[in-house]
Structure formats: C-alpha cells, structure tokens
Structure 1
C-alpha cells in the first residue's frame, strides 16, 4: 500500500459525500469535494511518478476512482436536470460498454491491454471541465450560458467518437488483427 494508493482510496470515499451533498442541496460542499478530488488526483500522480511509488493496484484504482466520481456526478446532474439526459446516457453507456468489452475479452481468454486513446483523454478532460463548471455554477450562483452549451455538445461528440474508436479497436483485437493490444479504459 503506497501513499498514492491511500490518497486514491480517500478520493473513492469522497464520491458518496459529493453525491450526498448534491442531492441534499449543499452545492458548495459538492463543488469543494469535486475540486478536492481533482487536486488529490494530481497529487497522487505526482507522488507516484516522482517518488517511484507506482503500483499495479494504483494503475487500476486511480482510473476507477476518477470514473466513479465522474459517472456519479454526471448521473446526479442529469437527475437534477443540470445536464441533458442524452449526454448522461451516452457517457454512462460508453463506460459500461468499455468495461463489458474488457470483461468479455478476459472471460474469452483474449484479454485486452488497457491503454487510453487520445480522443478518450480529450473526452474525459471535457467531461471534467463540464462537471466542474456546472458544480461551480450551482455553488456560486454564476451562469455560463453558451460555454456550458458548447461543452455539452463537445462532450457528446467526443463521447461518441471515443466509444466508436474503442469499439473498432476491440473488434480488431477480438478478430485477431491486433495481436498484442487493443484499446480499453
């Protein structure tokens, strides 16, 4: 158990707190928890890289913690009417399909080596910025209008593009065209 893994576990524990704060109207606490999770993600990554504390557990835990927080916040913001349901459904479905594809390929003894694609990293970044913007608006009473709308459509576009890229890579991998690795997240 490394220091970065402990920080990641604490980030996992923040998820129910952020969700609870959102659902009970404590928008400032939800925003603060989301920002704290983002800062802790940067801190654990810095410590892991610069102090040689990378671990196999951390390689799985870190993206799981990030995804759990982002999916949870998207679901609650969709429930609250702050994000369009089509975007929430697209984002959650994409993640569920990727996890299912990885599990299926593992069960079929043809495991996929997990490596995020550039379009996926861009998608995650836009989703994080969108979630932070909406949480910030709710906490601080600010309006962003066109910026929020633009991020919603950009997030939708990147979600579809990322999902399609993973699907094509997975099909190639399962068909034997990519012998050593295929994308996954």
Structure 2
C-alpha cells in the first residue's frame, strides 16, 4: 500500500502564507496612516511599525515550526524566501516614497535578489544546491531590524530619542546594504564553476 503523502499545509507553511497575504495589507495600512509630523507622538504610525515587526518575526516562527516538527517541505522552501523578499522590498518601496531611504538602497537589494535567483536556476539545472550562508541570514536580519527602526522613528516627535534611533537605523541599513552586496558576491563566487562549465 502506497504511503500517503503529507499535506503541504503544515503549520510553518500556513504562517508563511499568512505573511505573504498580510504584506499588501500592511502597505495599505502604512499608506493610510502616513507619517508623523515630527511634533507629536503618532499612535497610528507606531501601529504600522509594530505590524511590520510582527511580519518580520514570523520568518523566525515558520522556520522554527518547520524544523521542530520535521516538516520542511518543497513548498516551504519555495515560498519562504519569496515572503522574505516581499516583506523587505515592499517596505523599502514605501520608505523610498516617504523619502526615508535612498533609491540606491533599493537598487542594490533588488539587483542582488535578481542575481542570486538567476544563479540558483543555473546551479539547480546542474543538479546542485548551494546552501544558504550565514551572510544571507545576517543580511536579512539586519535589513529587517533597520527597516523596523526607520518605521518606528516616524512615530516619534523630534528629540534625542528620535535622533539616536534614526542614527542607529541608518547605520544598520548601511551595514545591511554592505552585507547584501557581500552575500551576492559570495554566492556568485560559489556558483562560478557551474556557470563556467555550463554550455
């Protein structure tokens, strides 16, 4: 008797799917709430920042669920990185619209994702999988923390806390961009022999 295949709708995959669905909902909330005026605390903008933090933290939750329950699926491997990219790129587009980040930040991050996605397809066609490096994990974590800070600072009135948080968030964003470029180069170097050998 054939063994029954397990459903793709594991708790981890459900969490990931919810994250994907809530990204556009977050964007609508962010657009509606706008930004603080810099004179008084804004509860609505704080809500947007906390909403984003919850979306970011679900990345850790679905990974924990998949590993602890031994339910790592092909669907999860496909959807999880897409969810991460949506959470980061959509929020950066919003911050770019608000004038909070430079266009170069978005260009470097999106270019890296195109590069790595293309390389993954080439490497996969050779029957090989290159494991995700710690650089990529640190890149994602640092990017999400810096975006969280940039969203949070918009809810605060001008003052020492605003200045310190904005400075820390911008420094973290610079580090995230460096890690993004570095991890892209690292993946390219690991993939080079498969590219060079491809017909």
- Shorter chain as denominator, the TM-score bin is 0.7 to 0.9
Tell me the equivalent position of 1:113: 129
Query: Highest Rg: 1 or 2?
Result: 2
State how far apart, in whole Å, the 1-side matches of 2:115 and 2:96 are: 19
- Map 1:3-152 → 2, pairs under 5 A: 3-24=11-32, 25=34, 27-106=45-124, 109-141=125-157, 143=162, 144-152=165-173
Q: Deviations over 1:32-81 (max 9, x none)?
A: 32122133223222222222232221122122211111111112212221
RMSD, aligned CA: 2.2
Tell me the equivalent position of 2:38: none
Runs of 4+ with deviation above 3 angstroms: 103-106, 139-142
How big is the shift at 1:94?
0.7
TM-score norm. by structure 1 comes to 0.83
In the alignment, structure 2 segments of 5+ residues that lack a partner are 1-8, 35-43
Q: Deviations over 1:121-175 (max 9, x none)?
A: 2211110111111111123445224212311321222122111112222222222
Tell me the equivalent position of 2:4: none
Contact 1:102 1:111 in 2 (8 A): no
